[in-house]
Amino acid sequence: MLVSGAGTNLQAILDSEIESLRVVISDVPDATALQRAAQAGIPTEVVPFTSTRSAFTDQICESAARHGAEALVLAGFMRVLAPEAIKRYPHRILNIHPSLLPAFPGVDAVSQALSYGVTVTGVTVHFVDEKVDHGPIIAQRAVPVLPGDDEESLHARIQKVEHDLYPRVVAAFLRGDVFVENGKVVLR
């Protein structure tokens, strides 16, 4: 798994029945996610972004390969991988995003939803392609925006849904029940 921050989605996956996590890699050395992984007995690695996106991506892929990972699961990973990663793991990189894509891509999805005044936003799990927060959509869930919501309250409601949805999708993917056929996602 690739992480950069709090790692609550990682925790949800650790708490689920998924047992095939090979390594948790972070670009941020003091990410809480690393402590969660260590506590669960999962190997951790820190790969800081130092020079170029391509060199960084190479290091991430090498680290994943060293640990025998055959797919990458992004959860709050704040870097964009170079196209080399997508070629190396075709339709084998998953990401979770706190909106109903293609609405509100980017780091400020929750505040965008609030400033647009939408009454429904949500969660998207998708395969990663060359563009940011883009690629074949695997699963989505709607989350209501309630009167009086601020970024914190709305993100908390969204995260509750993330923590239920992501472990289910990752487990299905690992069972071979999520794949792309003729450009469309099949979810069994």
Chain residues binding ligand GRF by CB under 6 A are 5-10, 33, 75-76, 96-98, 159, 162
Minimum separation from the CB atom of position 47 to ligand GRF (A): 17
Q: Which residue, 6 or 71, has its beta carbon nearer to ligand GRF?
A: 6
> What is the separation, in whole angstroms, between the first and last Cα of the chain?
23
Q: Which residue, 33 or 94, has its beta carbon nearer to ligand GRF?
A: 33
Task: Determine which one of 97, 126, 155, 163 is catalytic.
Answer: 97
Cβ burial 29-46 (10 Å sphere, 16+ → b, else e): eebbbbebbeeeebebbe
Minimum separation from the CB atom of position 176 to ligand GRF (A): 24
Say how far apart CA 45 and CA 27 lie, in whole Å. Answer: 9
Instruction: For residue 155, indicate whether it is catalytic.
Output: no
Please report how the helices 32-39 and 8-15 are oriented relative to each other, as an axis angle in degrees rounded to 10: 10
Whether the Cβ atoms of residue 42 and residue 68 lie closer than 8 Å to each other:
no
Q: Which residue, 34 or 75, has its beta carbon nearer to ligand GRF?
A: 75
The residues that are catalytic are 97
